[in-house]
Amino acid sequence: MKLMTLALAAGIAIGVGLLTGCESSQKTDADSGMAMMCPKCETVWVREDVGNNPRVQRYQTKREMVCSDCDKMATAYLEGDHAVLHDCPTCKVSLEAMQPPKGVSHTLHKHQ
């Protein structure tokens, strides 16, 4: 019983250490957690920097619609121009720039 408790405590300590130690030092505050969301189709695009290869990931809350115009605008915004176009020709809404609350960090980095 004592051995199981000790093993469980050690496992929790290691897990917490791994989760809190994954903050990348290469990110700037401006690029950290940049995201765009279409309020109509509820698709969210998030920029993730992996080493020297930045990429854009798309997350959806619904699978009913993925607007190709919103996809192009969000990708262009996240890849560097930071210009938000007003009213997508298809959705008739503007994409919303999003920032995570202070203190939230991405803990799913793939370390090389």
Q: What is the DSSP string of 71-98?
A: HHHHHHIIIII-PPPSS-TTT-S--EEE
Tell me if 17 is assigned to some domain: no
Whether pTM > 0.75 for this model: the answer is no
Tell me if 47 is assigned to some domain: yes
pLDDT tens string 55-111: 666 655 544 556 888 888 888 887 876 666 678 888 888 877 776 656 555 555 554
Tell me if 37 is assigned to some domain: yes
Number of domains in the chain: 1
Residue-number span of the structural domain to which 86 is assigned: 26-98
Tell me if 5 is assigned to some domain: no
State the pLDDT at residue 76.
82
State the pLDDT at residue 98.
73
